[in-house]
Amino acid sequence: MSTLSNFLPNRIMVITDALGPTGLCDGEYKLGELPILKQKSKFVLKSDPNKLAGSAATLPQIVQTYCKNFMHLPAFSLWEKIFHAAVICPRKASLGTAESLHEEQHFTIFDEKGNLVLSACNGKLYKFSPFSTHKNKLELLGLFSNAQTALNATSQADYAALDYQI
């Protein structure tokens, strides 16, 4: 992580190390051969429920927590940070058209409340119901522009001046 932080300063990364049964109902599961219990957003050892076995926090929960903790930032700053976390990597795949997505390019974009807006998996782009309400912000942040132009944009004015290709 420190290498990435040095290579990409002033960027955020949203990562979850959630265990496999994340998203399933609370209950008993196995981590390899180890019996574990899912309790809301965490897993604990069945033999000792006071010992953490792993995370059950989903990526949307992590983004929602991030947004809740950073709502004091101006709206553009928050979107800019989410853009760097969720869009910089996918932009390298040239998202001008869905046909340009490689099968190994997977990403998810959430709105400022952590709701799912757009994702790509196995080379297919998926737009979700709130997508149209967030399209202008996504355009402002350069999601639908030339990849290199978006990667080089450094200010709100740069993002606003991008030539969109959707």
Q: What is the pLDDT of residue 119?
A: 73
pLDDT < 50 positions in the chain: 1-2, 88-100, 142, 144-166
4 within a domain of the structure (yes/no): no
Query: Domains in the chain: how many in total?
Result: 2
Q: Is residue 7 part of a domain?
A: no
**Judgement on whether residues 123 and 91 belong to the same structural domain of the protein:** yes
The predicted pLDDT at position 56 comes to: 87
Q: Sign of dihedral through CA atoms 96, 144, 4, 158?
A: positive
Q: What pLDDT does 6 receive? A: 57
Together in a domain, 36 and 102 = no
Residue numbers of the domain that contains 28:
17-57
pLDDT at site 35: 93
What pLDDT was estimated at residue 129?
Answer: 54
Shared domain for 53 and 63, answered yes or no, is no
Task: Assess whether 53 and 32 both reside in one domain.
Answer: yes
Question: Is the Cα dihedral 53, 109, 96, 8 positive or negative?
Answer: negative
Contact present, 63 and 114 (Cβ < 8 Å): yes
**Looking at the structure, do residues 31 and 75 belong to the same domain, yes or no?**
no
For residues 77 and 52, membership in a common domain is answered with: no
Q: pTM higher than 0.75, yes or no? A: no
Cα separation, 22 vs 77, in Å, equals 30
Looking up tokens 């290579």, which residue turns up?
Answer: 7
Among 57, 85, 107, identify where a domain stops.
57
Do both 79 and 138 map to the same domain?
A: yes
Please, what sign has the CA dihedral across residues 41, 43, 48, 51?
negative
Looking at the chain, how many residues does it have? 166
Strands (E), 71-154: 107-110, 116-121, 124-127
Kindly state whether residues 85 and 95 are assigned to the same domain.
yes
Give domain status of residue 22, yes or no.
yes
- Cα–Cα distance for residue pair 127/129, rounded to 1 Å: 7
